[in-house]
Amino acid sequence: MTERLQKYLARAGIASRRACEEYISAGRVTVNGETVTELGVKVEPEDVVYFDGRPVKPEPLEYHLLNKPAGVISSVSDPQGRRTVASMASGRARLFPVGRLDQDTTGLIILTNDGALAHRLMHPRFQVDKVYLADVEGVVGERELERLRRGVRLEDGMTAPAGARLASRHGGGSVVEVTVHQGRKRQVRRMLEAVGHPVLRLHRKRYAMLTDDGLPVGAIRPLTRKEVTGLQKLVMAGKR
């Protein structure tokens, strides 16, 4: 697969793509023995690339699905020493999470080293559905569900319309299924609190077409080729 040199270097773990562009301009990269300073250069898989005198090669692309437990941080590392989603994929390539889940939220999160796909999956323009089950305080009525469907005004502005339905009721509480394609910080929790129903527990049960069926909380599995192709087609089409 032909790709731009800066992307090749970024996939090899050298640095971010922007930093790699600076390294190329500074003459720190050679391709097949020749120093390259132009950013438009493309490389083939068989090309020999050196950075600062040492050979580099991108890691194979990997895609994994984690059912995140509560208490785990959605990041690669944590200065406070808390457990991270990346640590749950130890022994694999340098993987990073696609988006985030709150520390107390359980559910599905994709781990990959495919930056291009991750960007598209996270970008609101591609409207990738994320489906949550929220156990909330109080009995949720049709009025509150309709507010979620129209969009809710939060301190950082209106949310996009969401899918919302009552999944069940229990005692003095309710379980609401909420579908969003934005990725604001603690968005689902804030939306439900705004309509009068604070969240007790939150779980993401579906990401795009991927579900938690057969994947218990705390488990991780590689995505199948069919699943990866499905995600790629989804974001390339720009449709749900």
Mean pLDDT of the chain: 91
Residue 240 has what pLDDT? Answer: 42
The whole-angstrom distance between residue 182's C-alpha and the CA centroid of its chain comes to 12
What domains can be seen in the chain, in order of their start residue?
3-56 (3.10.290.10), 63-124+210-237 (3.30.70.580), 129-207 (3.30.70.1560)
pLDDT at 60 over 90: no
Q: How long a stretch of residues is the chain?
A: 240
What is the share, in percent, of the chain residues with pLDDT greater than 70? 97
What is the C-alpha separation between 27 and 158, in angstroms, rounded? Answer: 47
- Scanning the chain, the segments in alpha helix (DSSP H) are 5-11, 17-25, 115-122, 142-150, 187-194, 225-237
What is the share, in percent, of the chain residues with pLDDT greater than 90? 67
Q: DSSP label at 117?
A: H
What the block records as the tokens of 59 is 């890691």
Lowest-confidence range among 12-16, 80-84, 233-237?
12-16
Location of structure tokens 């489906």? 131
What is the C-alpha separation between 67 and 206, in angstroms, rounded? Answer: 10
Distances from the Cα of 195 to the Cα of 132, 136, 143, 234, 238, angstroms: 16, 11, 9, 32, 30
Q: How confident is the model over 212-227, as a mean pLDDT? A: 96
Q: How confident is the model over 66-79, as a mean pLDDT? A: 92
Cβ neighbourhood burial of 8 (10 Å; 0-12, 13-18, 19+): buried
Q: How confident is the model over 210-224, as a mean pLDDT? A: 96
Among the listed residues 102, 104, 129, 212, the single catalytic one is 102
Q: How confident is the model over 91-106, as a mean pLDDT? A: 86
Residue 124 has what pLDDT? Answer: 81
201 CB contacts (<8 Å, ≥6 apart)? 106, 134, 135
Q: How confident is the model over 42-52, as a mean pLDDT? A: 93
pLDDT at 191 over 90: yes
pLDDT at 132 over 90: yes
Residue 92 has what pLDDT? Answer: 62
Q: How confident is the model over 113-117, as a mean pLDDT? A: 84
pLDDT at 239 over 60: no
What is the C-alpha separation between 49 and 56, in angstroms, rounded? Answer: 6
Tell me, yes or no, if 104 is annotated catalytic: no
**Whole-model pTM?**
0.82
Is 207 within 8 Å of 108 (Cβ atoms)?
A: yes
Is 191 within 8 Å of 154 (Cβ atoms)?
A: yes
Distances from the Cα of 191 to the Cα of 3, 124, 147, angstroms: 41, 17, 9
What is the C-alpha separation between 74 and 186, in angstroms, rounded? Answer: 13
Q: In terms of pLDDT, which residue wins out, 3 or 215?
A: 215
Residue 93 has what pLDDT? Answer: 67
What is the C-alpha separation between 145 and 220, in angstroms, rounded? Answer: 33
Residue 12 has what pLDDT? Answer: 83
